[in-house]
Structure 1
Amino acid sequence: MPAPSWFSRPGEVWSLCGTLHPPTPLLRPSFCRTNATFIPTFTCGGNITGESGVIGSQGYPGVYPPNTKCVWRITVPDGKVVALSFRFIDLESDNLCRYDYVDVYSGHVSGQRLGRFCGTFKPGALVSTGNRMLLQMVSDANTAGSGFLAVFSAAHPHERGDQYCGGRLDKPSGTFKTPNWPEKDYPAGVTCSWHIVAPKNQIIEVKFEKFDVERDNYCRYDHVSIFNGAEINDAKRIGKFCGDSPPAPVVSDGNQLLIQFLSDLSLTADGFIGHYKFRPKKNPPTTVPPTTTTSQPVTSRSITLKYSVALCQQKCKRRGTLESNYCSSNFVITGTVITAVMRGGSMYATVSIINVYKEGSLVIQQAGKTMSTKIIILCKKCPFIRRGLNYIFMGQVDEEGRGKIAPHHFVMAFKTKNQKGLSVLKNKQC
């Protein structure tokens, strides 16, 4: 039986398999036999043209090879856009996708990155802004997965005007919104990127007035991502949001912020309208008295914090108990450290929350059922935390709503047996 024409491309090798893999939705029934079907042997990268096609990692469905970098360049007819959908993905899992990953770009050269993917969660459909798209898969020395399988097709672009979104925003304040807002739902298959640029001595504050984006526990389909800086970089992502609750206000580290909105080709919703404004940086505190229970507030995300030598050189030893520290703390949570980045002498962490026992003015961001917050360890090695581990955090809250942990605050590894004691403390009158 010859290879199906819609499923092939020049130079592709085909083999006859005894079991049906991948599953039938990827193949047209007229080309299937009862117990056998043709699947291609996928190679590392290539240039692909046409109305539709299939892309797979090298050797799929076998384990992909280590230490490789494969690039696929897709081109569909002029006047169309590329719509890409992952049908299967199994790459080494990492919160920031630093080891094995697939990057998807709109265009072939210097295009907007639509996302970086790893693990086993499939993203929603990705749509380019023009008739070209680029996929790049990178693997390191250690691999243990089957790679990915994706299908693409040529789609009609949305008309500009009301459908157009994104662009550079450099006025002192302004508004951004999804296409069609507020008359009707945003369209399926759009990608919008707003690049907000302030003067170098200022930072950017963003607030969402209304927000309604297709809900998913992991925000895999329609979502809004906000990044520090001018480029999409997962290490600089402030948050990823979906659902019908407006995200908490966001403040940039520096003078640039990138807001990206993606909708896939299925469900849509009302969308959102957000506002931004520039504001000046504030001067950092130069000292913090080590003997008091509260220290000077952290005034800006962009500040490299400098604390007194006495604070960070005092002996690092946990003091007291859960009970003795509970009432003196502004916030008490349990959570998993998902990012931990050193800046100056401090550690900036993002914590995925397990439970909140005392919230205070702590800013908690929610994406689906996942809640997270930002915590600053003022002295990076005291207390010392590690990414991927669970902790009990008790500390103060700065004026930006971030948790602030000094050496004298209470932090310890969290174990299930601690839940009962914390639940009792939650009902305690301070």
Structure 2
Amino acid sequence: MSDYPPISEHLDDVESAREAGRRKMDWALQHMPILNELRDQFEAEKPLDGEVIGMAMHVEAKTANLVELLALGGAEVAITGCNPLSTHDDVSAALDANDNITSYAVRGVGDDEYYEAIESVISHEPTITVDDGMDMVFAIHEEYPELIDTIVGGAEETTTGVHRLRAMDDDGELKYPVFAVNDTPMKRLFDNIHGTGESSLANIAMTTNVSFASKNVVVAGYGYCGKGVAKKAAGQNANVIVAEVEPRRALEAHMEGYDVMPMNEAAKVGDIFVTTTGNRDIITEEDFEVMKDGAILSNAGHFDIEIDLDALSDLAVDEYEARDGVQAYEMEDGRRLNVLAEGRLVNLASPIALGHPIEVMDQSFGVQAVCVRELVENGDDYDAGVHDVPDELDKEVAEIKLDAEGVEIDTLTDEQREYMGSWSHGT
């Protein structure tokens, strides 16, 4: 087991970092009505009393408010990052100052340190896991299977992590229950579409200082995240091109008015590329060879495998930092291809990135919190494997948000409920 130290042992001025991180957290919390409501409930009822929660997440201000909520609910929490470039050291330090929280997240660590930090979280012997990408679940199953019997369950935040979990479950290798938080309506309709769409384009614009208007924006993948990027780019007067392998999604993109073509054809005309698939080798050598000078390449999928950077580096005769967060690769013929955030999550890993909008993550983290509560209260009801989030939990979070916004909605009458639940009513 790793003895990788907490964030406090990595910083020269811990107190200043803690103060700065706390200010970020307090600012975010002003715009998180769902977590504020749940904080009141969790602090009063202590539903997580005695639990140990191990987390691998993007450690920034919004996530930190979820972590603090879980601690207020009575849990001991240990957390590290799920991406080496998405951690905010000051926020990590602010979390680590809490007596019930230990944070091992440090920005910019190498692969070895990244996995050592995950092992340090696991050393707390979590009874619940909260993951973003499934690295912690994988590490527990591969290296510390003796802990599985004492783990009540887990929750997974992101598309890529759920894909990995379902593959693990299909092979019969997932040994405790995990909620697929990513697959709830609250997550897909708001976090994936609006969150990914807005934050990815915002960070591309801030990193490059280019406009989307009249540009050919190539979106790889037309799942919920890809739909969000395409929708927001079109809203900024871009010409959107979609590359997709699933015929129904490709047809949907076509019917929405976007151009649809193979990536190698899109590569010839694209100005800005955004990958959103969660799969590997989406933009490859044959695409780099036909791209125009000045093309901008970014990734909004979880891992840095969608753009084949090894192939791009082999093709390049020169590499240099064109501006902060932009690595230029110069081809033999003089063309320059520009990769943002080292091919990692552009909305979280670029130097100025802040991730999804606060209000969007308030909803997603609200679902995470009630899922953790559900595992503690009713964990015995769930067998090992991937589980959909109970619909009433997703609706609970939506209702809290509507109340906070002052929005009232209709309710079904008894007669309407009976009608919708009956098969005997004819014409």
TM over 0.5, yes or no?
A: no
Q: Normalising to structure 2: TM-score of the pair?
A: 0.23
Structure (1 or 2) with the larger CA radius of gyration: 1
Q: Counting strand residues as a fraction of each chain, which structure ranks higher?
A: 1
TM-score (norm 1): 0.22
User: Relative to total residues, which structure has the larger helix share, 1 or 2?
Assistant: 2
Relative contact order (alpha carbons < 8 A, sep ≥ 6): 1 or 2 greater? 2
